[in-house]
């Protein structure tokens, strides 16, 4: 069954925009919803109908006949400006209900144009798609606000994946076998997590991954709430602002760029600290202090579900994090130390997709049919 979306912009909002918007255009037309940004995001899980309208900053004195078209050539410039890697929807997978819409005299909002996404079966895994729709001509007496001449419909694809349940699970990595990992100038760690239970006893720590006393991503501590995320170790701890909920998926990322540490939650900056420390060591001093996923010090276990765990030897930008929260294409493996998707669903080996040999031998419980959005709206 198709999902139906509407751009619900009230008439009063259109009139208010005319009075407060900084662009000095009087009696102008613009795509509804693009007052502050040309981007409008939708989550799609199969075929969908999306309603698009054009608004007027003031009531139209006469009928405005507005010609529109899908304009794939706009996407390259958009990606460059906003640091995205969106792809255009294949032409055979969508249609517009019309190539013109009418905003009638005395009205502020036009009739609706329907963008129909016919199928998603041709969508590539992990790719975010975008459809630019442009006003090409207006027959009437109102100009078009240039900053809102094109609306970019970003289609947030839902992925159905497998994931691993962790409970009192200890997955140690012998990173000390690679001398280069004893001194890494820049590091990023990422994971998708859903917490079942936060730690309820002192020291209230649920470890996601990392190296104890060096670079450890964890929930909780005696000085913070059990449902707050923290990067601990190395003398420069940073705690995020978000208070996490149980049974809800989040994307986590921590970035050390050589001079600062930043925490991201769902692609948004959640905490940062200046950290003029030296390079990171990912090698544990003892077996108990090795790089580990799901625990630290053979305790402080993470109780929840995990997927898309990555360790990088570079500092990812915010755009890079946002573009790849559910999937990384093989084209981007060159700066990764390890990448565990946790999507095997069976067996006792968690594959390192980089080919660097950091497979994990562990019997796990698997969760089927996990539905994840590529971007958070």
Length of the chain: 377
Answer whether residue 143 is part of any domain: yes
Answer whether residue 109 is part of any domain: yes
Which is it for the CA torsion 283, 284, 285, 286, positive or negative?
negative
Backbone angles phi, psi at 160, to 5 degrees: -110, 115
Residues 67 and 206 in one domain: no
pLDDT at residue number 26: 62
CB atoms within 10 A of CB 72: 14
pLDDT at residue number 19: 37
pLDDT at residue number 257: 97
**What is the number of domains present in the chain?**
2
pLDDT at residue number 14: 38
Answer whether residue 162 is part of any domain: no
Digit-by-digit pLDDT tens for the chain (377 residues) are 555 554 333 333 333 343 344 444 468 999 999 989 999 999 898 999 999 999 999 999 999 999 999 999 999 999 999 989 899 999 999 999 999 999 999 999 999 999 999 999 999 888 899 999 999 999 999 999 999 999 999 998 888 899 999 999 999 999 999 999 999 999 999 999 999 999 999 999 999 999 999 999 999 999 999 999 999 999 999 999 999 999 999 999 999 999 999 999 999 999 999 999 999 999 988 889 999 999 999 999 999 999 999 999 999 999 999 888 888 888 889 999 999 999 999 999 999 999 999 999 999 999 999 987 766 65
Answer whether residue 171 is part of any domain: yes
pLDDT at residue number 97: 96
pLDDT at residue number 6: 44
Answer whether residue 262 is part of any domain: yes
Residues 200 and 256 in one domain: yes
Residues 103 and 190 in one domain: no
pLDDT at residue number 16: 37
pLDDT at residue number 20: 40
Residues 172 and 153 in one domain: no
Residues 261 and 136 in one domain: no
Answer whether residue 121 is part of any domain: yes
Give the residue from 157, 190, 219 where a domain finishes. Answer: 157
- Cis previous bond, 203, omega within 30: yes
Residues 208 and 322 in one domain: yes
pLDDT at residue number 25: 45
Give the residue from 157, 185, 220 where a domain finishes. Answer: 157
Answer yes or no: are the C-beta atoms of 192 and 325 closer than 8 Å.
yes
Gap between the Cα atoms of 223 and 281, Å rounded? 25
Residues 171 and 106 in one domain: no
Gap between the Cα atoms of 82 and 74, Å rounded? 13
Residues 214 and 150 in one domain: no
Tell me the CATH number at 333.
Answer: 2.60.120.200
Answer whether residue 68 is part of any domain: yes
Residues 187 and 144 in one domain: no
Answer whether residue 145 is part of any domain: yes
Tell me the CATH number at 10.
Answer: 2.60.40.1740
Q: Which range marks the domain in which residue 148 is found?
A: 3-157
Residues 215 and 351 in one domain: yes
Gap between the Cα atoms of 297 and 370, Å rounded? 30
Residues 145 and 231 in one domain: no
Residues 50 and 93 in one domain: yes
C-alpha closest to that of 318 among 272, 372, 371, 259: 272
């Amino acid at each position: 069954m198709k999902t139906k979306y509407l751009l619900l912009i009230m008439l009063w909002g259109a009139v208010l925009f005319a009075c407060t918007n900084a662009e000095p255009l009087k009696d102008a037309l613009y795509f509804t919803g693009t007052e502050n940004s040309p981007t409008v995001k939708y989550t799609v899980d199969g075929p969908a109908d999306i309603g698009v309208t054009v608004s007027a900053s003031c009531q139209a004195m006469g009928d405005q006949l507005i010609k529109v078209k899908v304009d794939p050539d706009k996407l390259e410039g958009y990606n460059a400006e906003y640091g995205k890697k969106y792809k255009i929807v294949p032409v055979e997978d969508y249609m517009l209900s019309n190539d013109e819409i009418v905003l009638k005299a005395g009205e502020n909002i036009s009739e609706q144009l329907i963008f129909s996404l016919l199928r998603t079966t041709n969508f590539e895994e992990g790719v975010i798609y975008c459809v630019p729709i442009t006003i090409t001509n207006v027959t009437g007496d109102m100009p078009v606000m240039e900053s809102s001449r094109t609306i970019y419909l970003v289609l947030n694809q839902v992925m159905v994946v497998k994931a691993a349940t962790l409970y009192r699970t200890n997955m140690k990595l012998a990173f000390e076998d690679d001398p280069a990992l004893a001194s890494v100038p820049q590091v990023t760690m990422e994971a998708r997590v859903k917490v079942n239970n936060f730690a309820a006893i002192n020291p209230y720590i649920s470890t996601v991954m990392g190296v104890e006393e060096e670079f450890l991503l964890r929930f909780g501590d005696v000085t913070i709430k059990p449902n707050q995320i923290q990067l601990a170790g190395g003398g420069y701890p940073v705690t995020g602002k978000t208070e996490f909920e149980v049974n809800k998926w989040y994307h986590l990322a921590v970035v050390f760029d050589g001079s600062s540490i930043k925490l991201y939650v769902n692609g948004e900056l959640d905490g940062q600290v200046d950290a003029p420390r030296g390079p990171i060591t990912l090698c544990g001093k003892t077996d108990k202090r090795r790089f580990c996923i799901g625990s630290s010090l053979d305790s402080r276990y993470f109780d929840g579900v995990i997927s898309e765990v990555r360790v990088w030897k570079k500092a990812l930008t915010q755009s890079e994090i946002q573009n790849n929260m559910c999937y990384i294409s093989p084209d981007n493996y060159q700066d990764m130390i390890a990448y565990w998707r946790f999507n095997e669903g069976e067996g006792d080996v968690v594959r390192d997709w980089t080919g660097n040999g950091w497979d994990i031998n562990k019997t796990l419980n698997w969760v089927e049919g996990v539905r994840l959005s590529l971007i958070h709206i």
